[in-house]
Amino acid sequence: MDFRLTKEEELKKQEFEAFFEEEMKKAPPEFGNGGLEGVYATEEGFQFHKYMARKLGEKGWLSMGWPKQYGGQEASIMEQVIFDEVRGYYNAPGVDGFAVGMFAPTLLAGATEEQKQRLLPPIAKGEAFYCQGWSEPDAGSDLASLTTTAIREGDHYIVNGQKTWTTGGHKAEFMFLLARTDPESKRSKGLSVFHLRMDLPGVEVRPLLYMDGKHVYNEVFMNNVKIPAEDLIGVEGEGWNLTRQTMNFERSGAGGFSGAKRYLEKIIEYAKATNRNGKPISKDPNARRKIAEMFIASEVGRTLAYKIAWMHQKGDFMGLITAASESKLFSTESAQLMSNYATELMGPYGQLEGGEYAPLDGGMVELYQFIKGATIFAGTNEIQRNLIAWTGLGLPRLKFK
Ligand SMILES: Cc1cc2nc3c(=O)[nH]c(=O)nc-3n(C[C@H](O)[C@H](O)[C@H](O)COP(=O)(O)OP(=O)(O)OC[C@H]3O[C@@H](n4cnc5c(N)ncnc54)[C@H](O)[C@@H]3O)c2cc1C
């Protein structure tokens, strides 16, 4: 495999870099170290996310891989990977992972023509912001056991139930919702996907706050919410197949690794510039071993993301299920390793979130706290290991009662 970029790809990369270099100078202080907290925890951070989304929409970069008939550019997978890498490196907001990363590809895969024409353009322009309505208090890994119902009455569905852990639900205008349209059905049968407006009567969003009071996650209660029948996505009762496709979109992506690369560059700078026991930390053999391990992890992660792109290009969709799980597993565990090592290298200062003594503006301790959840969200890492065993290695499936 040749990892070098073509001349055209190199030029595209430079165009992306110039854009993010310039635009990220406009980030407000509230955006902080970025990520989900940068986007959702303050109004200023969210407004910057919206600003960037519109800018990216104008460039056509939110829909670059879509078919031309829906406003896309049919850009190659490699071009999309390069975009993700550069954006990840700059830690830039503007790509709503739920809208652009998950719901748009789901619409392209399973929506009616009318829905594609109606719902895709606002996503492409960076004007529609979504949240993900899957998990419930008693349905997480075992998502197929969910109990929220959506019962057809005339030209509407009446929705009742509760979703939890809804990231950004307090800022989103829409949710893609998974609900049971056949109340007699069991497990994955009788589930359907909906496009839900968050301002409909009966939708109540309650915050799930961090220990320090930050607001990123929510619970969403739905009490006799009337969704127009035209907002059922695809075929009634076939929502599980559609949702399984969405899961693979959720788990792939190159951005995370290039974000890690930038962090690593900063950690190396810090280790070179900071003395401990009379010599730079970078001269300490133990620190050097940790930095080398982090570097190897970030390079392996990058090649895993490239592997996913290559499989897309080949149309190897079965292989993609395993590759997406491998990538999710490896990226989240490497990020935990990185934040762990980095805060260790920084010693007691590594625990400081702010102030003049906080190394890297407290970015590493923030990552350390945030990244704990990453081995749980988007399907826990135990579930990813099961998928790799069953789908990738062909090992026998465990049967649960
Ligand atoms: C920070 C964060 C953000 C999130 N954002 C969203 C969101 O925006 N929208 C949304 O819908 N959901 C969201 N989630 C929910 C997330 O998808 C669930 O937390 C996740 O699927 C796990 O479900 P659970 O919490 O119910 O744990 P459980 O499913 O109860 O799992 C508990 C433990 O048992 C293990 N386990 C369960 N089943 C198996 C099995 N078959 N084999 C081996 N081990 C197993 C799990 O790995 C885990 O360690 C978010 C979660 C977090 C932490």
Kindly give the distance from the C-alpha atom of residue 380 to the centroid of ligand 1, in angstroms, as a whole number: 5
The structure tokens 């930038």 sit at 262
State whether the beta carbon of 303 lies less than 6 angstroms from ligand 1: no
pLDDT-based confidence at 307, cuts 50/70/90? confident
Read off the pLDDT of residues 137-173 as tens digits, 9 standing for 90 and up.
Answer: 999 999 999 999 999 999 999 999 999 999 999 999 9
Q: Does domain 7-84+91-129 have CATH number 1.10.540.10?
A: yes
**CATH architecture, range 252-392:** Up-down Bundle (1.20)
Tell me, using a 6 A CB cutoff, whether residue 351 lines ligand 1: no
Active site residues: 250
Indicate the domain borders of the chain.
Answer: 7-84+91-129, 131-237, 252-392
| Residue 236, both tokens | 């009634």
Tens digits of residue pLDDT in 25-49: 999 999 988 999 999 999 999 999 9
Q: Where is mean pLDDT largest: 31-35, 42-46, 207-211, 339-343? A: 42-46
- At 160, is the secondary structure helix, strand, or coil? strand
Spatial CA neighbour of 305 closest among 338, 257, 337, 265 = 257
pLDDT of residue 187: 87
Please give the distance of CA 73 from its chain centroid, rounded to a whole number. Answer: 22
Number of alpha carbons in the 13 Å side-chain half-sphere of residue 302: 17
Helix (H) or strand (E) holding 276: strand 275-276
Mean pLDDT over 49-73 rounds to 94
Nearest to 391 by CA among 373, 376, 379: 379
| Superfamily grouping for domain 131-237 | Butyryl-CoA Dehydrogenase, subunit A, domain 2 (2.40.110.10)
Question: Do residues 180 and 219 lie in contact, with contact meaning Cβ atoms separated by under 8 Å?
Answer: no
**Pocket perturbation via mutation, ligand 1, pick of 187, 332, 380 by most ligand atoms within 8 A of CB:** 380
Task: Give residues with Cβ within 8 angstroms of 171, minimum separation 6.
Answer: 39, 40, 46, 129
On whether the CB atoms of residues 10 and 344 are closer than 8 A, the answer is no
* pLDDT tens-digit map of 257-287: 777 888 899 999 999 999 999 999 999 999 9
CA end-to-end distance (rounded Å), the chain: 45
Distance CA 339, CA 368 (A): 5
User: By the 8 A CB rule, do 131 and 172 touch?
Assistant: yes
pLDDT for residue 255 is more than 60: no
